[in-house]
Structure 1
Amino acid sequence: MAQAVWNKLKELEKPTLGQLFAGDPARLDTLATRFELGEDAAAGAIRFDWSKTHLDAAHIAAFEELAAAMDFAGRRAALFAGDIVNPTEGRAAEHTAQRGVGSDDSVRLAADLHHRTAAIVEAIHRGAMGEVKHLIHIGIGGSALGPALAIDALARDGAMVDVHVVSNIDGCAMEQAFAACDPATTMLAIASKTFTTIETMTNAESALQWLRENGVEDPYGRVVALTASPDKAVEWGVDETRVLPFSESVGGRYSLWSSIGFPVAMALGWPDFAEFLAGAAAMDVHFRDAEGAANLPLRAAFADQYYTRLRGCQTRGVFAYDERLALLPDYLQQLEMESNGKSVTFDGQPVDGPTAPITWGGVGTDAQHAVFQLLHQGTSLVPVDFIASIAPGDDLDPAHHRILLSNCFAQGAALMAGKPSDDPARAYPGDRPSATILLDDLTPGVFGALIAFHEHRTFANAVLMGINPFDQFGVELGKAIANQIEQGGTRFDPSTEALLALSGIG
């Protein structure tokens, strides 16, 4: 059934963007939607505009057929019910329960764990653990990318605690954090689902040593552990009262909503973190209840599949016209490429087409002077997402923000319209797609909805491709070989052996 739908999709005509707008006066109303986070206008809203993509009524109808053929409704229901949706590891994926949307038991457990996290956060802010000015958060992958993004986006103005996120095993990263912190007023957060991740635990040992060398008598007393393996954290030396668990069914790159969000709550305060969760929950309810192309993450997945499968696009660009979202492309790289960078289907069969494109991007207007030449005149077709906020994040002359938004909107218009010229070097072909995600303001709630939108978009793409987005075995092979190098006794290819010898490792 699904293959028949793909065959139909491949045979459909592909009008230009100009033709699509000219032929459908209601196109903007159909493909640009304002998502309200709540009935109260103060909750905020996001405008999702997919009208400058090549989706039309025929393609949307066929993609809705594909969603039915791939049992999108059933897979979505299983996700929210807490059923096993990660068959290779025999696990549920219950990140939405952390936001209050999921099975009753999982929602209750998440609420209890949040209560525990909130109590510790508020106690620290009240001074129960002495003066705390700095927090070094140590993790890797989803345990670091999400907190780093959220703190950079939301805590630039008057953070309650100065948070430094360290993920790289390169000692320069740790030393940079040490240089910015006073050990007498610094706490450590160790974030590891298993509490065995070698990069994280090596960095944690170095941080403890730094505290010891700088006069902290009980460095373990300055540690909070964020983990799905609380027994391992206690065994390592963390007092059980400062272990903040999260469920085994919460995957690393979906874990920001769990106790992994502790450093975000430390920087913002618990009320703002609760607003962040509520914004994500609003998107959860929409994704759970809306059908067909009215479902915003599913509609985005239709466009993603159109460009990847029908137009052969191997990359997707994400450009945030907001300095506060500078880390968003990095975050989405892991979310999308680790989730959907697969070559087998849900049941282990080879896929019959491309899966995830390469996600990349940057910050406007910097990116305009670096990579937009390729977007406008290069030979590669690259669908682009533009993300911006109507409200500025600064208090400078309004001209700054006006020029920023003007550039953002102009780029989408220019990619679509192009510009002919008798001089080939000055000709712009146009008909190049973009989507725009326009926030009313970058509040904790709106930011939560934005991140949840991308999580559900990633899941919807996986369903349409018939793959499992919740395992990541591709991460393991290189790490296993690195462990073999550490242990010694294993022979490798001549190139690797030469590199090891030159580095003094072999």
Structure 2
Amino acid sequence: MPLPKINPTKTDSWEKLKLHFEQLKDVKMQDLFSSETLRNENFRINWEDFDVDFSKNRITSETLNLLYNLAKECELTSAINAQFAGEHINETEDRAVHHTALRDFENLKPEVATTLKQMKRFSSEVISGEWKGYTGKAISTIVNIGIGGSDLGPAMATEALKFYQNHLEVIYISNVDGDHVMETLKPLDIETTLFIIVSKTFTTQETLSNATTIRKIFLKDASETDIAQHFVAVSTNLDAVKAFGISAENTFTLWDWVGGRFSLWSAVGLSTCCAVGYDNFKELLEGANEMDVHFKETPFTKNIPVTLALISIWYNNFFNSETEAVLPYSQYLSKYIDYLQQAVMESNGKSVDRNGDFIEYQTGTIVWGSTGTNVQHAFMQLIHQGTKLIPCDFICYTESLHKLKDHQQKLLANCYAQTEALMQGTYGEIVKNNFKNFDGNKPSNLMEIKKLTPKSLGKLIALYEHKLFVQGIIWNIFSYDQWGVELGKKLAVKRLQ
């Protein structure tokens, strides 16, 4: 079943949203809060350990109803069903988009079960010290060699779950910059280092260049037969992997229905699995699956990814806000923005619709941000008093992992204060100095999560995966190809010839 191919701007809901926008564009959120005593309760979704407050947005109940109707007119439900059924919704490449199947333990594909079993065995051997290097020493360092989805996803997850990490040091090399490669390798003991080469085709220029250079350095002291003890691969190209010197039993497979930027749930996440252990990695997958079920089965009005996606479309296509900031108040999520940028901007950066026609409305949003109170001493000034309207997602955990209550109270107080200041500003106050005037009326969502665990992290990552999917469906674009990226690769190869 192909995806619907509906131009959103030709729907009745879009026309009604345009009229509604003209009525609402100058309305102040401060006034909405004054007139709606239950606004905080009516504009929020509580689900498991997530509390999502979207009351501080320039929306009313009518706005939401029109947006939900837009989703219905664009046949979002049928699109969701097509994705979860494994239909070839990536039509330009004739591929399924089925990364949700990687974490569906109730209906686990046999090939996924086999790979997970292989990952469990391998990670257990490395963590326990049973896996030895060529000189008989146990592995203490893992280096993941990949780029794009083969780097950003596992690097983000490993950093986010640092509290749960074992004794293994895990390092990521992605950039083809040779200086970076050499500086990264400089402090490492090759005898106790394991390299994971992640490349679906085993032809990615940056990854293979880095892997080949590292192989040469390794062979200065070791032999060809020692490669099998220090190099493993995540790839579908078994011949190329074998030629590199990696044994078949140390090769972890991928499938064409798993897109790179949604692949951390697969063997691409092997480095994360080794860093935190298989049980924690499985919890990460289980959390993502719980969000999958919520997304697939929950009515739009109580559906977190659907609601956040529609609010984002409201700002992007009616207020002409080109960017949105994601602001996690947890340093553990320091790599989350990098991950989101690829997921969102590589997916929805399209100017041709699913009918093959050039688009005359705005599509993909620009995602940016940083962590915690750092943002308050950096770019928040522009969001507060600048001329651009920048919707914000604030993400925080109500419970700290290291139980430093004083720090956590201060962290949360700053998070809550920022959302309040953006909304309220100095509205209603007499401010004689224009330089100290804050208009407020700046939108934000507040996502409170009880605690950062592998399971809650899985839910959070999957939430934004589904959010960008909804946006792509409404905008009538194919979110799962990336022909612009491919063009750059081809031109780089031509320059090297």
Instruction: Please confirm whether the aligned pair reaches a TM-score higher than 0.5, indicating the same fold.
Output: yes
Alignment of structure 1 residues 20-419 onto 2, 5 Å: 20-36=32-48, 45-100=49-104, 104=107, 107-130=109-132, 131-156=138-163, 158-215=165-222, 218-394=226-402, 396=404, 398-419=405-426
Amino acid at match of 1:54: R
Deviates more, 1:150-159 or 1:165-174: 150-159
Tell whether the 8 Å contact from 1:320 to 1:388 is kept in structure 2 after alignment: yes
Determine helix, strand or coil for the equivalent of 1:319.
strand
Alpha-carbon distance, 1:157 to partner: 5.5
Distance, in Å, in 1 between the alignment partners of 2:119 and 2:173 is 21
- Kept in 1, the 8 Å contact 2:163–2:401? The answer is no
SS in 1 for 2:370: strand
Q: What is the identity, as a one-letter code, of the residue corresponding to 1:83?
A: E
Q: Kindly state the Cα deviation for residue 69 of structure 1 after the two structures are TM-superposed.
A: 1.4
Structure 2 CA distance, aligned partners of 1:27 and 1:371? 29
TM-score by length of 1: 0.91
Residue 293 of structure 1 and its aligned partner are, at CA, apart by: 2.2
In structure 2, C-alpha distance between the alignment counterparts of 1:101 and 1:303, rounded to whole Å: 32
Identify the residue that residue 493 of structure 2 maps to in structure 1: 483
Cα separation, partners in 2 of 1:311 and 1:54, compared to 1, 3 Å: same
**Residue aligned with 2:195, SS:** strand
Q: For residue 191 of structure 2, what is the amino acid of its counterpart?
A: A
Deviation at 1:220, TM superposition (A): 4.0
Aligned counterparts of 1:89 and 1:362: Cα–Cα separation in 2: 34
In the alignment, the residues of structure 2 paired with residue 257 and residue 232 of structure 1 have an alpha-carbon distance, to the nearest angstrom, of 24
> Percent of aligned positions with the same letter in both sequences?
35
Secondary structure at 1:318 match in 2: strand
1:100 and 1:111 in contact (8 A); partners too: no
Looking at structure 1, the residues matched to 105 and 159 of structure 2 have their Cα atoms a distance apart, in angstroms, of 26
Q: Secondary structure at the match of 2:441?
A: coil
Which residue pairs with 2:3 in the alignment? none
In 1: Cα distance, 2:57 partner to 2:116 partner = 40
Deviation of the 1:246 alpha carbon: 1.7
Q: Which runs of 5+ in 1 are unaligned?
A: 37-44, 488-506
In 1, Cα distance between the equivalents of 2:371 and 2:147?
Answer: 23
SS of residue matched to 2:151: helix
> Residue 158 of structure 1: CA displacement?
4.5
- Partners of 2:306 and 2:71 in 1: how far apart? 9
Other-structure match for 1:492: none
Q: What do residues 238-266 of structure 1 show as CA deviations (whole Å, max 9, x unaligned)?
A: 11000000211000000000000100010
Structure 2: distance between partners of 1:355 and 1:101: 34
Equivalent residue number for residue 449 of structure 2: 439
TM-fit CA distance, 1:366: 1.1
Deviation of 1:215 after TM superposition, in Å, equals: 4.0
Give the SS at the match of 1:479: helix
Residues 101 and 284 of structure 1 are in contact (CA less than 8 Å); yes or no, is this contact kept in structure 2? no
Q: 1:204 Cα deviation (Å)?
A: 0.5
Question: What letter is aligned with 2:120?
Answer: A
From 444, 457, 481, the equivalent of 2:467 is 457
AA aligned to 1:97 is A
SS of the aligned residue for 1:365 comes to helix
CA contact (8 A) 1:136 1:177 kept: no
Deviations 1:454-482 (A, max 9, x none): 10001011111111110011112222111
Q: Is the 8 A contact 1:153 1:325 kept in 2?
A: yes
Larger mean CA deviation between 312-321 and 169-178 belongs to 169-178
Q: Residue type matched to 1:139 in 2?
A: G
Amino acid at match of 2:78: G
Q: Which moved more, 1:282-291 or 1:113-122?
A: 113-122
Range 432-441 or range 216-225, more displaced = 216-225
Verify the 8 A CA contact 2:321 2:390 in the aligned structure 1. yes
| C-alpha separation in 2, matches of 1:11 and 1:229 | 54
What is the alpha-carbon distance in structure 2 between the residues aligned to residue 211 and residue 393 of structure 1? 39
Q: Which whole-Å CA distance do the structure 1 matches of 2:88 and 2:452 have between them?
A: 34
Per-residue CA deviations over 1:145-166 (Å, capped at 9, x if unaligned) read: 0111111110245424211011
Contact 1:416 1:430 in 2 (8 A): yes
Displacement, 1:395? 5.0
Task: Measure, in 2, the Cα distance between the counterparts of 1:109 and 1:160.
Answer: 30
**Contact 1:101 / 1:285 at 8 angstroms: preserved in 2?**
no
TM normalised by structure 2 equals 0.92
Measured after TM superposition, the shift of residue 369 of structure 1 is 1.0
Amino acid at match of 1:7: E
Q: Does 1:423 align with 2:433?
A: yes
Q: How much does 1:406 deviate?
A: 0.8
Task: Describe the SS at the equivalent of 1:450.
Answer: helix
Tell me the residue number matched to 1:5. Answer: 13
